[in-house]
Chains A and B, each alone.
Chain A
Amino acid sequence: MKSKDIKSIAYAFISEDVNVYFPDNDEDCFIVEKLVCAACKAFWHTSLNECYFCGEINYYLYVCTSCGKKYSITNSTIKCSCKDSESKLIKACVNKECLTNTDDVLKSFSITEKGVFDLDSSQSLSQMYCIKCGSPENTYRSFKIFVFNDNEETNFKDYYLRINSYFDFGDILILKKHIDINELVYAFITELTSDLKIDQIEYKYSSMSKLIKNII
């Protein structure tokens, strides 16, 4: 069983969509992992689909094949207000320049598959380009997280001796303390030394959410 402090911090990462892994040994830490853009570090979403032909993302919309009007996909029974006899609502690519909207053969093929983003369509791929900068490269951002509760663990030197052998370059020690019963503050350090003066640490984060945004 992990200590409640470690678990509590781990859930804070999960709430920010960062993945957490616990050691299969006695190490007093956990690993966080997130697939990010290799260029700008924006989160990379493997469940977000893109159009195979042009790279446009899925907007989760029905598009009328006759007039292009857009509808929510939560209502599958609706018909387009244009009332065209040929009208079909499909999960089409929203890029007007896409081959599936400009090329007659591919447009017809797309309609046959109920649109680029239909679950059974062969016309989409998992995210290929970063949603922020367009880079095609993704990489894992990952490191170990250690937690020191300043209210409970009084002797930092003992804690240091316990974790020093597996605190590696790039790992992060999170320090937390209660400044009153309902108010927590946090700090983090990236370099572990035995003479670290815990009482001189500036606890500048008022929430884990803010701290996580700073380190991921």
Chain B
Amino acid sequence: MDYKNVTFPVNVFEDVKGEYFSKHNKKNVTEDFVTENMKEMGWNVYRPFNDTGIDLIATKAVCKVCFEDLYDKQTSAKCQKCNSDLVYIKRFIQVKTREIKGDENNSSFGFTLKSKDIRTDPRHVFLLYSDYSKDFLFINTYEYLKLFSENENIGKSHFSTPSFRKGNNKQNSLKRDEQNKWSWSGISFNNFLNEIGLRGITNPKIDLELGSFVTMTQQLKFELFYNYSRGRNDNIDSEKEISIKNIILENVIKNLSINSSGKRNIVTNRENSRMGIISETTDTLRKSIEEGYFVKFKGLSFNEE
């Protein structure tokens, strides 16, 4: 299907140049830049009232069939063009704004993602915003993990090294060349770029089949996260590395299995550890842990059933 040409993103703040901001004061303006651009494309945008880890929620009513028409702003119960049903979609967007480094011909976009950023809900979208080239790269968690699962050379370096589980795990492999082509170790990222990327996240398929996509995202996450590899400085040889990897994978299968009491083994194992701690610690120490740390995690307690 042919759609009108789209220029996206556009410079919504014509009175100020991006380079006037430093990394210390640009967070708000960049998130607002994203917000205004999404609104131009007919999205409703919601900004966090408290510190949530998500920079904006964007919603839109889209047609099941002609959702790729980005300028389409639906105002009735059915699609104004083809009379198909509309789907109300919602995206939880985490913005990573970076000034690309290097020269114009070969520059890299450095960003960090931690294990806490990888949720199994595929409506969670990373928006990598290059404020130098004014490019948006939209990629949801499912697509992100799939890319690394299907391309072993980048997958291994990204998730299976200890660096993913340690420190800030800064990634510098995403590059932009002089033709504005984006890639990661030779794998093209242009399907996530600007209007093409926006079309990708506008697809209502993940909303209509959310449960299946959550499961697929979780499976990719576990496959990548538990692909153990030793660190450079670990005193672990390659034979031992394979043995550890196998035990971890066995443990994952065991953890997820349901036991004779009808619970997943991970729940029973944790209950056993909790009972062990209760027998080995004083009431005062447990109270201090509850009040000092568990208070941040609703539902977590020494006294749970």
Q: Give chain B residues whose Cβ lies under 8 Å from the Cβ of A38.
A: 120, 211, 214
Q: Which residue of A lies closest to B258 (CB)?
A: A134
Task: Report whether B57 and A33 are in contact in the complex, using a CB–CB cutoff of 8 Å.
Answer: yes
Is B92 in contact with A138, judged by CB distance below 8 angstroms? Answer: no
Asked if A35 CB lies within 8 Å of chain B CBs, one says: yes
B285 contacts the other chain (CB 8 A): yes
Q: Quick check: is B244 within 8 A (CB to CB) of the other chain?
A: yes
Contact A31–B46 (Cβ < 8 Å): yes
Mask: chain B, 75-101; 1 = CB below 8 Å from A; 0 = not: 000000000000010101000000000
Given contacts A68-B280, A99-B247, A121-B166, 9 further A-B contacts (CB under 8 A): A20-B50, A24-B39, A35-B121, A48-B296, A57-B270, A136-B120, A138-B119, A139-B214, A140-B121
**B-contact 0/1 string along A13-27, CB 8 Å cutoff:** 010110111111101
Tell me if B151 counts as interface (CB < 8 A to partner A).
no
Residue A187 interfacial (CB < 8 Å): no
Q: CB < 8 Å: which of A35, A58, A72, A109 contacts B236? A: A109
Main DSSP-derived SS at the A contact region? loop
Q: By the criterion CB–CB under 8 Å, are B297 and A21 in contact?
A: no
Residues in chain B near residue A22, CB distance under 8 A: 46-47, 49
Please, how many residues of chain A have a CB less than 8 angstroms from a CB on the other chain?
72
A137 to chain B, nearest CB (A): 5
Chain A residue with minimal CB distance to B119?
A138
CB contact between A120 and one of B114, B123, B166, B288 (< 8 Å): that residue: B166
A45 sits at the interface (CB 8 A) = yes
**B46, A122: Cβ atoms closer than 8 Å:** no
Q: Is the CB of A142 within 8 A of B57?
A: yes
Interface of chain A residues 113 through 141 with chain B (CB within 8 A): 120-126, 128-129, 131-140
Taking the closest CB of chain B, its distance from the CB of A61, in whole angstroms, is 7
Known A21-B49, A61-B289, A124-B165; contact A142-B264, beta-carbon cutoff 8 A: no
In the complex, A43→B218 CA distance in Å? 17
Contact A60:B46 (CB < 8 A) given known A47-B116, A70-B281, A124-B165: no
A-B pairs, top 7 by smallest CB distance, nearest first, are A134-B264, A122-B162, A21-B46, A126-B116, A122-B166, A46-B116, A19-B52
> Contact: B47 with A109, CB < 8 Å?
no
**In the complex, residue of chain A having the shortest beta-carbon distance to the beta carbon of B226:** A52
| A197 CB-CB contact with B under 8 Å | no
CA distance A125 to B285 in the complex (A): 25
Q: Does A105 contact B (CB under 8 A)?
A: yes
